[in-house]
Chains A and B, each alone.
Chain A
Amino acid sequence: MGIVSEVSVATAPARRAHQGRTRSIGVIMGLIGLFTLLVFGVGSGLSAQSSLTFNPVNLSGTIPWHVGTLTLSTAWTNIVLALAMIALAVEVNLRLPARGVMVRFGVVAVLFFFALLLWAARTGGPAPINFVNLTAVLVGSSALAMVLIYGSLSGVMCERAGVVNIAIEGQFIGGAFVGSMIASTTHNFIYAAVVGALVGALLGLILAFLSLRYLSDQIIVGVVLVTMLGSLSSYLNLQVFTPFPQYNTGNLAPDLPIPLLAKIPLLGPVFFNQTGFFYLMIVLVALVSFGLFRTRWGLRVRAVGEHPKAATTVGIRVIGVRYVNVIVGGAIAGVGGVAFMASQGQFQPGYTSGLGYIALAALIFGRWRPSGAVVASVLFGLSVYLADNLQTYQIPVPTEVLGMFPYVITIAVVSGLIGRVRPPAADGIPYQRD
C-alpha cells in the first residue's frame, strides 16, 4: 500500500506541467465559448429565430409521441450556451481538476456544434431550410458513432495487448464487402455479421502472424493491409459486383424498436429504435470495459501490453494473449464494417473514406479506454455527420473545416497541446523471449 501511494504521488514538476496543460485546455475552451458568444450569439441579430423539430425522419414501426416545433431566439439561446461553455472554462481554469477535463472539453465541443446548427438554421440566414431536425441529426450521427465505436473497441483490444492495429480501416472495408455480399444473398444480417467477423478475424490473424511470429513492423503491415484491402475490394467490386449486381443490393438492416422506450421523444429514436448492430455495440462496450478492468483476463491483457517481460515471469503466455486479442479485435472491426454497410447501403470502393483512421483517432483521444473511446467516437461521429450534411444549410463556414476536426484534435492531443495521453507501455513493440 505504501509503495503504491508513493508511486502515485506525482513529482512537483510533473504536477505543474500537468496543471499547465489543464490550464491551456481551459483557455482553449474559453476561446471557443467567446467565439460562440460573439459570432453565433450576438452576431446573429436579436430578431433571428431558430426552430427545432423532433420528429424522426424514419417512422418505421413506431408512432412516436409527436412533439411540436420549438422556436427559440437564436441570439439568446446561443448566448446562454456560450455562457455555459465559458462557465465550464472558468471552472477548469480555477479548480484545475485532475480528472474529467477532456469530458468537459467534449461537452464544450458538443455545445459548440449545437450552437453552430442553431446559427446556421436561423431565419434570415442563408439556409434554404429554416429548421433543425435534432432527432435526424442525432440519429444520423449515432450511425457513424456506432461504426467508430466498433473500430476503436477493436483498437482497444489490440493495443491494450501491445499490438498496434492500424488496419482497422482495412477490416472495415473487408467487413463491409462480405457483409454486403452475404446480406444481399441471404437477407440475413446475422449471417452477414458472422462472416464479417470472420473476415476481420482473418485480417487480424494476418497482422498477428506477421508481427508476432515474424516480427514485422506492425505499422507497416497495418498500412499495407489497408492498401491491399482497398485495392482488392475495388478489384472484386468490378470483377464480381458489376457483372452480378444481385450480390450487392445493399439492403439496410431493419430497425428493431424496443417497446415503449422507442417512443420517448428524441432519446427513443436515438437509443431504442436502432438496428441490431447498435445494441450489439452497446453489449460489446460493456463486455470489453468490464473484461479489461474487472476480470483476471483483463489484468493479464493489460500486463502483456504494459510489461510483457513481467507478464512472462508470472507465467502468462504473452504471444498467445496477443494472438487472441488481435484476432478478436479484428473480428470486432469486421462487424463494424458490416454495421457500416448495413446503415449506408450498397458497397462501393472507398466508401468507408478513412473512417477506420478516425476510429484510431477516437481510440487515442479516448486514452485507450473503452469509455473514452465511446465519448470520442460520439464527438467525432457528430462532427463527421455535420461536415457531411451542413451543406444543406449553406453556411459560410466551409464544411472542410469541420471535417478536419477529428484529425486536428487528435494531433493536439498526442502532442500534449491539450491533455496528455499515455499509450500502453509496450504498444507496438515486438516481444521476443530470449
Chain B
Amino acid sequence: MSDAAVHVSWWARLRSRPALVTLFALLLGFVVGALVIVTTTASVLDAWRGIFHSWSAPGHAVKLTVDNVGSAYRTMFEGAILSPSNFWHALTTGHGWPLALTPLSETLTYATPLAIASIGVGIAFQTGIFNIGANGQAILGGIAGAAVGSMIHLPMFLHLPLTLLAGLLGGVVGGMVPGLLKAYTGAHEVIVTLMFNYVVAAFLILTLLSTALQMPGQQNDISRTIDGSAQLPPLFGASSGLRVNWGLFVAAAVAVFAWWFLERSSLGFDFRVTGANPQAARASGINAKAVIVLVFAISGGLAGLAGVTQMAGTTHFVDGGFLIGNAGIGFTAITVSLLGRNRPGGIVLASLLFAALGVGGRAMQAATGIPLDLATVIQSAVVLFVATPVLVKEIFRLRTAPTAAVQLATKGWGS
C-alpha cells in the first residue's frame, strides 16, 4: 500500500487533492464571467464579427477582449483588496492610508455577517439539513436587534451585548419554527424555510410600520436608528472613515466556536453522525428529533446574529430593503457554505472571497460601467461547479477526489 504511494508523481498527487476542485471551480467561474462580459459588450462583439475583414482584425479582437476582461477584473481586484498606486502612495508619503485601506475594510465589513450566517448554514448542512431560511432568520435577528437597540437605553457594556443577544434569539425563534415542524410533523425543511423567508419579509414591513419601531416622522418602512451604545464601533475609530467594525471579532469568535463545536464537542459529533448516516445515528441512540430542533436553533441563531451584526455594525437601522433581494445574505450564505465545504475554516475563506467579489463588483461598475451583478453571476457559476465536482474533474482531467465537495443526503420532499 505505502509502496505504491511513494511512486506517485507530484503531479498525480496534486491532481488528486480535493481543494483543487474548488480552485478549478473558481477558475471556471471567472471564465464564465469573462464570457458574459465578452458576449454583452458591443465593441468587443463588433471586433469579433469583423475578424475576417483584415489581417490585423483577429489580433485587434483578441486585444479588445483581453483589455475589456482585464480591466474589469483588475478594477474588481483594486476595489476589493488593494490598489497598488494608492498603496504605494501611502507607503512612500505616509498619507492616504484610509484611502489605501478602504477596499480591504469594505471587504471585511461585507464578509463579517456573511461568514456568521454561512457558518450557521454550514452546521446545518453537516447535519444533513438544508436551511434556506437563513435570510428570514437574519431579518428576524435584525428586527430584534433594532428593537432592543432603539427602544431601551443602557450603558454600552450592557446595551451592545444585549442587542447582539436579542438578534441571536430572534434568529433562534426563526430557526425553531421550521425545526419543530420538521421534527414533529415531518414537514420538509426546504419548503418550510423557503416559504418562511417570505412570511418574514412581510412581517418585516409590518413591524417597520408599527409605531414602536418606525422612525418618528417617517411614513416609509424604516426603523429608528439604534443608540450609539448599541452599535458595534468602527475598528479604527470613526475618524478613519473605515467601516470595518468590531463585528469582525464576533465573526472570529463564531468561527472558533463552530470549529470547536463540530470537531471537539460530543453534541457536534452527534450532529455530524446524523448528517453522515441517519440510520447509524438512530442505532447508536442519538435522539433525531432533538438533533433537528437543536441544529435549527443553532443555525437560525447564527443567522440572526449575522443579521444583528450587519445592523449594529453597518446600517444602524433596518428598512424595507434590509437583506432583501437577490444577494440577500441568507442566500449567499448557502453558496458560501458550499464553497467552503461546510467547514468553519473554509467558510471564512469563502466568505472573504465572495465579499471581495461583491465589493469589487461595485468598484468595477463605477470604473468600467460593467454592472455589478456580474459578481453574483460569477458567484453562482462557481457554486454550480463546486456542487458538481465530477464535472470539474472531467473538464480538468483530475484524479478521483476522496470526498465529494457537497455531501448532502438528498432526500425527497416528504421524508
A299 at interface by CB-CB < 8 Å: no
B384 touches A426 (CB 8 A): no
Partner of B387, one of A221, A230, A350, A407: A221
B325 beta carbon closer than 8 Å to chain A: yes
CB proximity to B under 8 Å, residues A317-347: none
Provide the residues of chain B in CB contact with A276, threshold 8 Å.
Answer: none
Chain B residues numbered 355-382 whose CB sits less than 8 Å from any CB in chain A = 370-371, 373-377, 379-381
> Interface on chain A toward B: helix, strand, loop, or mixed SS?
helix
Assuming A220-B387, A407-B196, is B377 touching A228 (CB within 8 A)? yes
Q: Are A228 and B381 in contact (CB under 8 A)?
A: yes
**Contacting B198 at CB < 8 Å: which of A240, A354, A424, A426?**
A354
Q: State the Cβ distance, B304 to closest chain A Cβ, in Å.
A: 19
Among A390-434, those with CB < 8 Å from B are 398, 400-401, 403-404, 406-408, 410-411, 414-417, 421-430
Quick check: which of B9-17, B145-153, B200-208 contacts chain A, the rest being far away?
B200-208
Interface pair A411/B406, CB less than 8 Å apart: no
Assess the B377–A232 pair: CB atoms within 8 A: yes
Tell me the bound Cα distance from A243 to B390 in angstroms.
40
Stretch at the interface among B75-83, B187-195, B248-256, B277-285: B187-195
| A210, B181: Cβ atoms closer than 8 Å | no
Nearest CB of A to B114, in Å: 14
Contact partners of A101 in chain B: CB under 8 A: none
Q: Are A224 and B384 in contact (CB under 8 A)?
A: yes
Is the CB–CB distance between A357 and B194 below 8 Å? Answer: yes
Task: Name the CB-closest residue of B to A219.
Answer: B190
Cβ-based interface call for A129 (8 A): no
B403 at the interface (CB under 8 A from A): no
Q: Which of the residues A234, A417, A428 comes within 8 Å of B413, measured between beta carbons?
A: A428
Task: Provide the bound-state CA to CA distance between A166 and B380, in Å.
Answer: 15
A239 interfacial by beta-carbon distance below 8 Å: yes
- Contact pick for B130, options A219, A243, A425, CB 8 Å: A219
Q: Judging by beta carbons under 8 Å apart, are A235 and B374 in contact?
A: yes
- Partner of A238 from the list B206, B373, B412 (CB cut-off 8 Å) is B373
Q: Which residue of chain B has the shortest Cβ distance to A222 in the bound complex?
A: B190
CB distance from B238 to the nearest CB of A (A): 33
Q: Take A232-B373, A401-B206, A411-B187 as given contacts and tell me if A215 and B199 are in contact as well, using a CB distance cutoff of 8 Å.
A: no
Q: Do B335 and A361 have beta carbons less than 8 Å apart?
A: no
A164 at the interface (CB under 8 A from B): yes
Which residues of chain A have C-beta atoms less than 8 A from B191's C-beta? 360-361, 364, 410-411, 414
Query: Quick one: given A227-B331, A427-B414, are A404 and B202 in contact (CB under 8 Å)?
Result: yes
The B interface, classified by DSSP as helix, strand, loop or mixed, is: helix
A217 touching B410 in the complex, CB below 8 Å, given contacts A234-B326, A414-B188, A416-B186: yes
Q: Using A217-B406, A217-B410, A235-B40 as known contacts, say yes or no to A227 and B371 having CB atoms under 8 A apart.
A: no
B209 lies within 8 A of chain A by Cβ: yes
Contacts of A357 in B (CB 8 A): 194-195, 198
* Contact assessment for B202 and A400 in the assembled complex, using a CB-CB cutoff below 8 Å: yes
- Beta-carbon nearest neighbor of A364 in chain B: B191
Residue among A210, A218, A232, A415 with the highest chain B CB neighbour number at 10 A: A415
User: How far, in Å, is A176 (CB) from chain B's closest CB?
Assistant: 15
Whether B326 pairs with A216 at a CB distance below 8 angstroms is: no
A235 to chain B: closest residue by CB:
B373
Residue A236, interface by CB 8 Å: yes
A427→B413 CA distance, assembly (Å): 6
Q: How far is the CA of A406 from the CA of B195 in the complex (A)?
A: 8
How far is B190's CA from A364's CA once the two chains are assembled, in angstroms? Answer: 12
Contact A224 B383 (CB under 8 A): yes
8 Å CB interface, A336-381 against B: 350, 354, 357, 360-361, 364
B132 on interface, CB distance cutoff 8 Å: yes
Known: A398-B206, A427-B412, A429-B412. A231 touches B195 (CB 8 A): no
Residues of B within 8 Å of A232, CB to CB, are 36, 373, 377
CB-defined contacts of B391 to chain A, threshold 8 Å = 210, 214
Within 8 Å by CB of A430, from B181, B185, B410, lies B410
B99 CB, min distance to chain A CBs, angstroms: 28
Q: Is the CB of B413 within 8 A of A164?
A: yes
- The residue in B331, B377, B381 that gathers the most chain A C-beta atoms within 10 A of its C-beta is B377
- Whether A231 contacts B377 by the Cβ 8 Å rule is yes
Cβ contact within 8 Å between B199 and A408? yes
A223 at the interface (CB under 8 A from B): yes
| Residue from B188, B373, B379, B384 in contact with A234 in the complex, judged by beta carbons closer than 8 Å | B373
Q: Do B383 and A428 touch (CB < 8 A)? A: no
Indicate whether A227 sits within 8 Å of B326 (C-beta atoms), given known contacts A232-B373, A235-B371: yes
Beyond known contacts A231-B327, A231-B373, A357-B195: 20 more, CB 8 A cutoff: A159-B413, A216-B387, A219-B130, A221-B388, A223-B331, A235-B40, A350-B326, A354-B198, A357-B198, A360-B194, A361-B191, A400-B202, A403-B198, A404-B198, A404-B199, A404-B202, A407-B196, A416-B185, A429-B410, A429-B412
B-side interface residues toward A, CB under 8 Å?
Answer: 36, 40-42, 130, 132, 181, 185-188, 190-192, 194-196, 198-199, 202-203, 205-206, 209, 325-327, 331, 334-335, 338, 370-371, 373-377, 379-381, 383-384, 387-388, 390-391, 406, 408, 410-414
21 A-B contacts (beta carbon < 8 Å)? A210-B388, A214-B388, A216-B388, A219-B410, A224-B387, A225-B384, A227-B326, A232-B377, A234-B371, A236-B40, A238-B373, A350-B326, A357-B194, A364-B191, A400-B203, A400-B205, A403-B198, A408-B199, A410-B195, A411-B181, A411-B195
